Structure 1
Amino acid sequence: MKVLLYFEDAKWLAQSGIGRALEHQKRALTEVGIDYTTDPHCTDYDILHINTYSLNSTRMVKRARKMGKKVIYHAHSTEEDFRNSFIGSNQLAPFVKRRLIRLYSMADVVITPSAYSKKLLEGYGLTLPIFAVSNGVDMEKYQPNPQKEQQFKEYFQIKPDEKVVICVGLFFNRKGILDFVEVAKSLPEYRFIWFGHTPMWSIPSEIRQVVTKDHPKNVVFPGYIKGDIIEGAYSASDLFFFPSYEETEGIVVLEALASQQTILIRDIPVYAGLTDQLHCYKGQDNQAFKEIITGVLEGHLPDTKQAGYQFVQDKSIESVGQELKQIYELVQQTSEFEPLDSIQI
């Protein structure tokens, strides 16, 4: 069996969760011994596993169909998580939804990162089989490491008694960036760092203003940072605060859990599997976020790190590889004339 993993504009997507999903897929297939290529000109593959949505992605699917190849569409995006992102995203969202439905319907099966996003896609009226498979997390990469933690502290000149709250994400309203800044403003005794970058021309002026100058002194926007510094930040900070309103999964949450960090997230459906006050802390509004942050940082709330770490171990790259292998084998073994409704993993 040979799989063509296709990501259009992979370089542009590298800083996003979808970009990390590509790296995880390659690692996962290597772990379970599945031959793969990322060469779009390759013709000797059996299954096209496609992850993106632009015009050339459509051509890739049509080309695969003409050659009699099986097609798996990886549904990283939904209408819901397209909204409240780039300028004009809310106006475009209904058109994006229709395009996604057309693209996903061209496949034999769809893979999506969570049970929540699977439910959304089923609500779109898609009738082909949809499997929920986590994008996964590199458990080894995010293990607490004193050297990485020291690099983070030195880079940001963190004082020994300073409490630090971090987030990782694009500059989208959907990610809760305005709430992050508002909460930080009400807690000046703590330092807040938002890692990530989005081209300024592409985001609404309100967010552009907040990121560039209209934020309190205790908030830092260092841009996109990778490697030891961000990996050290995950474990060396005092809390990972991710107030996103909508996610298909949220790889950064998995990374924070793998780092054995306490996390605070908005109580939204995608995180139904995480138990509040056991694996993490959940809040609905800024007042709740403020109270939980203070409780965690001042040691008044129970530690959730180990339970959260145990939860995320089921989402290791090795586990993802096994699930993908099962789906590939089922798709490959099923006749093109046979409905796939009965496929289970």
Structure 2
Amino acid sequence: MIHINMFSSADKVAGQGVGSAYLELMALLKKYESKKFEVTINRYGKADISHYHTIDPQFFLSTFQKKRGQKIGYVHFLPETLEGSLKLPKPFQKIFNKYVIAFYKRMDQIVVVNPIFIDKLVAYGIPREKVAYIPNFVSRSEFHPQSETEKLATRQTLGIAAEKFVVFGDGQVQKRKGVDDFITLAMRHPEITFVWAGGFSFGKITDGYEKYKKAIDNPPENLIFPGIVDRKKLVDYYNMSDLFLLPSYDELFPMSVLEAFSCEKPVLLRDLPLYEAIIAGYYAQGHDVDELEAQILALKADPAKLAQLSTLSKQAADKFSEGHLAEIWEDFYEKQAQHKSSKIVDDLLKN
């Protein structure tokens, strides 16, 4: 029996992808408890493996205790990816950036959710052999296609007519997520309903808080901001939409895209190079607000193209399914318990 202790505060802040990824992994491991793994949370006793999901200062101090066993760090962000998310005074930002990297350097093994981050971590001085790539995943039992009756019921709750074309986006309300473009698209096309589920998970220190707060309080009639939606209800929002749009400028491997795939919804993303390493071929793309607009209008006018994107989403969901990733995590933890370095899992993902 391998004892894994999770160090995490990810589920304390609603509406962020780190928390969603953490909860998905915890749900997965519960299926193995009493068989292969004993899983505890934020316990400071002895463990075979200590898996750090967040970089809390008290967790950093715990890394200096020998009883931590093999220390695994889950990398959901780097200093540069926080730009456009948090607004901190420059002196504090520099200190925080150094702290983030210092935390990662305390780990025996790093796990990234996107392979594009491997070279960046190496540039920060972390040995390449200490970095493993394991993608995010979502449970198909939580995120799945719904019946037309269920879709219409959600629309009715939101005050959206059955015949309306609906574009849905999900994530924290911040510049990095491309919310400005989402609002612009809604203003350009009053005939289309736009819905953005998310809020200010980090309150007033969110970059651009005042501007986005005004936008949320005074949106055009065709733009709905329901706020942070409970994760168990998000499946309703994905399903009631015709198209999922995430116009982010910077991401690792957004849980919202996986959730949209799992609900078999057509997906439209900004054409970021980091997506190419993991989900190329499964989505439509646009470089800027004008190209995203053109894609939305083309898809709205062509149900066959929408249906084709839905099929691609289903294929992506199968690739990043809970069952497939369960095998990868099981193998990873068993190697870590033996203090064996885990290489990038490209071969496992191809199987």
Query: Structures share a fold, TM > 0.5?
Result: yes
Identity of aligned residues (%): 22
Q: Which residue number corresponds to residue 288 of structure 2? A: 285
Work out the CA distance in 1 between the residues paired with 2:243 and 2:75.
30
Q: Which residue number corresponds to residue 349 of structure 2? A: none
Q: Which residue number corresponds to residue 139 of structure 1? A: 140
Task: State how many pairs are aligned.
Answer: 334
2:248 paired with 1:240: no
Compare 301-310 and 102-111 and name the one that shifted more.
Answer: 301-310
State the Cα deviation string for residues 226-260 of structure 1 (Å, max 9, x = none). 25642122122111010001111100001001111
Work out the CA distance in 1 between the residues paired with 2:319 and 2:31.
15
Work out the CA distance in 1 between the residues paired with 2:93 and 2:299.
37
State the Cα deviation string for residues 33-61 of structure 1 (Å, max 9, x = none). 44233332352421000111121111222
Q: Which residue number corresponds to residue 123 of structure 2? A: 123
CA 1:301–1:89 in structure 2 vs 1: closer, same or farther (change >3 Å)? farther
* CA contact 1:27–1:317 (8 Å) conserved in 2: no
Q: Which amino acid aligns with 1:329?
A: E
Any gaps of 5 or more consecutive residues in structure 2? Answer: 346-351
2:279 paired with 1:274: yes
Work out the CA distance in 1 between the residues paired with 2:180 and 2:170.
14
Q: Which residue number corresponds to residue 254 of structure 1? A: 258
Q: Which residue number corresponds to residue 182 of structure 1? A: 184
Q: Which residue number corresponds to residue 45 of structure 1? A: 47
Q: Which amino acid aligns with 1:243?
A: P
Work out the CA distance in 2 between the residues paired with 1:96 and 1:325.
33
* CA contact 2:47–2:67 (8 Å) conserved in 1: no
Shift of 1:344: 5.6
Which SS does the other structure have where 1:201 is aligned? Answer: helix
Work out the CA distance in 2 between the residues paired with 1:305 and 1:90.
44
Q: Which residue number corresponds to residue 214 of structure 2? A: 209
Any gaps of 5 or more consecutive residues in structure 1? Answer: none
* CA contact 1:73–1:107 (8 Å) conserved in 2: yes
Which of residues 264, 267, 285 is equivalent to 2:268? 264
Q: How does 1:316-327 map to 2 (within 5 A)?
A: 316-327=321-332
Work out the CA distance in 1 between the residues paired with 2:320 and 2:5.
23
Which of residues 141, 161, 164 is equivalent to 1:162? 164
Which SS does the other structure have where 2:63 is aligned? Answer: helix
Q: How does 1:223-234 map to 2 (within 5 A)?
A: 223-226=227-230, 229-234=233-238
Work out the CA distance in 1 between the residues paired with 2:323 and 2:91.
40
Compare 34-43 and 236-245 and name the one that shifted more.
Answer: 34-43
TM-score (norm 1): 0.89
2:8 paired with 1:7: yes
Work out the CA distance in 1 between the residues paired with 2:344 and 2:311.
32
TM-score (norm 2): 0.88
Work out the CA distance in 2 between the residues paired with 1:3 and 1:196.
32
